[in-house]
Structure 1
Amino acid sequence: MSASGITLYIATSVDGYVADAEGSVDWLEEFQAESDGDEDVEGFSEFFETVDCLVMGATTYEQVLGFGEWPYGDKPTYVFTHRSLSPATEAVRFVNGEIADLVPELRQQYNHVWVVGGAHLAQSFFQECEIDVIQLSFIPILLGGGIQLFSGEYDEQRLRLVDTTTHNSGIVEHHYEVAN
């Protein structure tokens, strides 16, 4: 799988939430456990191999730190934050600025950038029209509330469906290219 540009690769409930009302993603654990051994889930490993750089918000960063060992190795990781945080590794850099200021540097230095999350950061990338590919994993659960992936204000952006993959766990992945 070759990939380039800026990709939003993220899981969402069927009703469009990336976290529950308390900001937790614990509801994903059940589906991750069901996916263990599912050979289709290897798609993530294949995707991750194509990634040169990661971008995430501070809340996502703190959630990832709470999972234990840093899962992204030495891949450069930019964390958007207005707070003072400690880097998980030497590869983590903190950004206190605008997406529009960083994106030209990202596009110049890296072939494939992964916007990990969260929703606010993803929405900001959409506001700047800086997402090239969207890979959504729809998790078969209705949360009924929480942090919505698609909210906020951004211009209409047409998508072209590239692929759909279904997993035994009930997870359905949609891969879109942004057509604008």
Structure 2
Amino acid sequence: MRRLVVGTFVTLDGVMQAPGGPDEDRDGGFPHGGWLVPYFDETFGQIMTEWTKRADVFLLGRKTYEIFADSWPKSTDPADEIATALNTRPKFVASRTLDKLAWNNSHLLKGDVAEEVMRLKAQEGGEIQVHGSAHLLQTLLKHDLVDTLRIWFFPVVLGTGKQLFGEGTIPRSFRLTETQQSTTGAVLHIYERVGDLSYGEVEVGQETVIFDSDSARH
């Protein structure tokens, strides 16, 4: 089975909107587009390249697809491994408005998005990678379809914008498996899905905290 891997760039207050440029996503009058760019460095680029190369297929929302389709086909240098992966490997797009896709090897998801993604996950292969795609991510989180989170945290606070974890996200626990840091202060955390939450209680005067995994709520 394939694993669904979400990769995203997030501020300290959880905003993932328009990291790459002022006009990337102005929904809601968002004024902070391009907040990631000052933190780009060689380490960040190398990690992103290695990460993208692992993709078997890409899963994108409509807006992210249109941004990618407008830019990545312009990069034809075979040495650009990110561009090569994005331009050649299958891309599945969740959209209610698009009826045709011009970018090479792109396919529209038809019918219920969650059901279509479950079919993709059931197939043999490597990673299904999701980049950006804020609205699509909310659907994936609500249906418990995310296996791995690769989250770049950047040392900025915006106070407004689309959040990675919106209303309707199912309570779940994850395990931190890896951490890397760029020279500019951005930190990558990789989390693997564990499952239901465990709960406990801290009592004043007690030296230990007891966790009861059987008390997980749904």
Which TM-score band applies after superposition, normalised by the shorter structure? Answer: 0.7 to 0.9
Could you tell me which runs of 5 or more consecutive residues in structure 1 were left unpaired when the two chains were aligned. none
Residues 55, 116 of structure 1: 8 Å contact kept: yes
For 1:42 and 1:55, locate their aligned partners in 2 and report how far apart those are by CA, in whole Å.
Answer: 22
Deviation (angstroms), 1:133: 0.4
Matched residue type, 2:39: F
Identity between Structure 1 and Structure 2 (%): 24
Q: What is the number of equivalent residue pairs in this alignment? A: 173
**CA deviation digits over 1:22-46, x for unaligned, max 9?**
24742223223xx1xx245312211
Matched residue type, 1:153: G
TM-score by length of 2: 0.72
2:65 aligned to which of 61, 64, 68: 61
- Which aligned pairs between 1:8-47 and structure 2 lie closer than 5 A? 8-19=6-17, 22-23=26-27, 25-32=33-40, 35=41, 38-39=42-43, 41-47=45-51
Residues 80, 97 of structure 1: 8 Å contact kept: no
Aligned CA RMSD, in angstroms, stands at: 2.1
Matched residue type, 1:172: V
For 2:95 and 2:46, locate their aligned partners in 1 and report how far apart those are by CA, in whole Å.
Answer: 31
Distance 1:147 1:74, change over 3 A: same
Deviation (angstroms), 1:111: 2.0
- The structure whose RCO (Cα within 8 Å, separation 6+) is larger is 1
**CA deviation digits over 1:74-129, x for unaligned, max 9?**
11001110112552423111124323221232121432100113222111111111
Could you tell me which runs of 5 or more consecutive residues in structure 2 were left unpaired when the two chains were aligned. 19-24, 75-82, 196-218
